[in-house]
Amino acid sequence: MDEQGWTAVVASAIRAPSIHNTQPWRFTAGPDRLDVHLDRERALPVLDPTSRQQVISCGVAVEFAAVALAAAGRATEVELVPAGERSDHLATVRVTGEREATEEDRALLAAIEQRHTDRAPFLPRALPGALLDRVQAEAGGLGVWVKPIDRSEEEVATVFLLSRAEEVEQGDPEYVAELQRWLRTDAAAEDGVPVETVPSEDPATRPSNWLIRDFVVGTRGVHETFLPEGDPAAPPPEVERPTVVLLGTDGDDRTAWLLAGRALGRLLLRATVEGVAASPLTQALDWPATRTRLRSRLSLVGYPQMLLRLGYPSVPGQVHAGRRPVADVLRFTPA
Ligand SMILES: Cc1cc2nc3c(=O)[nH]c(=O)nc-3n(C[C@H](O)[C@H](O)[C@H](O)COP(=O)(O)O)c2cc1C
């Protein structure tokens, strides 16, 4: 693969979602390999002190690189590097030969460009069962389970822990300060979460059981927080009922986090191909206390890594979060 080829592959890899759009990655490309590194200078010490969520983000970038290589007619092998000796080298995507790119490869590549996190309410329309079956099978191939949260007692327990975690976060000035450091008001920003992509209303006032992360906490006026808009005599709005899935792994080490990221990347692209949007709801997984309680309340064998709402978009033409240029994150090693 030449430098131009790798530039195109990395342009796809960096479309990966990342916690607070930190884009915590660096890449080095050689003739037949792409190494993916964790960039610790972009860490979130309050929200993600173990870098678990940043490693998951890098796992998605690994998967997107593999998808781009497949669509470019390359056969690949992915090697995950176990944690050790403080190494930031997470994974290598190795080109092992050529192959015929399929229609499906091209559809997944197109989905990388189309996908974005959609935090608006979803339409009241069930997802096709075949989509869930397929993402469960693909994730299973990577050792990752995908559990729909569809039984009412599981939903109640998960919603409670999510709300509790959000409440703890909003009361933590260090958490709020870190969140505000990654919120962007400039639409052309190359990283961070653009304010146009997060709802301006308080998520707690939304008619939904599932509380999305509040990115503008601390900046909203009291009247905006407490006074619902509209006619007080109008019937209550329909409650949003998105599909919510939990991704998890048997272990909880760096390899497990990378596998969770790869499975998440695959799932998001399959969903996008089907016209289905997603947004993570990871507040309950940010904190050891709520994450541990989620394990016990849902009787999970293994570790929850990602909670995700899925559904059909209700708001077309949304703003996409920016990315740093490829040249800032890619280095070439001599042949
Ligand atoms: C591990 C991980 C955790 C995330 N957690 C949340 C979350 O709790 N709430 C949310 O709204 N978005 C969450 N996101 C989405 C990111 O904010 C989003 O990917 C980033 O801003 C880039 O935007 P994009 O996905 O539209 O490209 C998460 C993403 C990842 C990879």
Ligand 1 pocket mutation pick from 14, 15, 20 by most atoms within 8 angstroms of CB: 20
Residue 250 covered by a domain: yes
Residue 189 covered by a domain: no
Residue 139 covered by a domain: yes
Whole-number Å distance, alpha carbon 54 to ligand 1 midpoint, is 10
Q: Which amino acid, residue 213?
A: R
Q: Pick from 20, 23, 48: which is nearest to 329 by CA?
A: 23
Residue 221 covered by a domain: no
Whole-number Å distance, alpha carbon 19 to ligand 1 midpoint, is 5
What is the average pLDDT across 84-103? 92
Q: What is the CATH number of the domain that holds 141?
A: 3.40.109.10
Q: Which amino acid, residue 67?
A: V
What pLDDT is recorded for position 87? 86
Residue with tokens 């590194």: 37
Per the structure, the complete domain to which residue 49 belongs is given by 3-149+242-332
- Asked if residue 194 has its Cβ within 6 Å of ligand 1, the reply is no
What pLDDT is recorded for position 187? 84
What lies within 8 Å, CB to CB, of 15 at 6+ separation is 64, 112, 113, 115, 323
What pLDDT is recorded for position 226? 44
Whole-number Å distance, alpha carbon 165 to ligand 1 midpoint, is 16
223 — pLDDT class (breaks 50, 70, 90): very low
Query: Do the Cβ atoms of 304 and 291 come closer than 8 Å?
Result: yes
Beta-sheet pairing, 25-30 with 330-332: parallel
317 — pLDDT class (breaks 50, 70, 90): confident
What pLDDT is recorded for position 335? 72
Write out the two tokens for 145. Answer: 């389970």
Residue 11 covered by a domain: yes
What pLDDT is recorded for position 227? 46
What lies within 8 Å, CB to CB, of 20 at 6+ separation is 44, 47, 179, 182, 192, 193
Q: Which atom of ligand 1 is nearest to the CA of 197?
A: 26
- Asked if residue 19 has its Cβ within 6 Å of ligand 1, the reply is yes
Per-residue pLDDT for 228 more than 60?
no
Q: Pick from 37, 14, 24: which is nearest to 322 by CA?
A: 14
**Residue nearest atom 20 in ligand 1 by C-alpha distance:** 21
Whole-number Å distance, alpha carbon 294 to ligand 1 midpoint, is 20
Per residue in 147-200, pLDDT tens?
999 999 999 999 999 999 999 999 999 999 999 999 999 989 999 999 999 988
CA–CA distances in Å: residue 262 to residues 144, 216, 245 = 9, 29, 16
What pLDDT is recorded for position 56? 98
Write out the two tokens for 329. Answer: 């994150």
Per residue in 20-67, pLDDT tens?
999 999 999 999 999 999 999 999 999 999 999 999 999 999 999 999
**Residue nearest atom 31 in ligand 1 by C-alpha distance:** 18
Residue 181 covered by a domain: no
What count of other Cβ atoms lies within 10 Å of the Cβ of residue 81? 17
Whole-number Å distance, alpha carbon 292 to ligand 1 midpoint, is 22
DSSP per residue, 253-278: SHHHHHHHHHHHHHHHHHHHHTT-EE
| Total domain count, the chain | 1
Per residue in 267-313, pLDDT tens?
999 999 999 999 999 999 999 999 999 999 999 999 999 999 999 99
CA–CA separation, 195 and 220 (whole Å): 12
- pTM (2 decimals)? 0.96
What pLDDT is recorded for position 122? 95
Residue 183 covered by a domain: no
CA–CA separation, 105 and 280 (whole Å): 25
CA–CA separation, 202 and 142 (whole Å): 37
236 — pLDDT class (breaks 50, 70, 90): low
Per residue in 165-179, pLDDT tens?
999 999 999 999 999
- For the chain, helix (H) and strand (E) counts, in that order, are 11, 11
Residue 69 covered by a domain: yes
What pLDDT is recorded for position 221? 58
Q: Where are the beta strands (DSSP E) in the chain?
A: 25-30, 33-38, 74-80, 89-98, 144-148, 183-184, 193-194, 243-249, 277-280, 303-311, 330-332
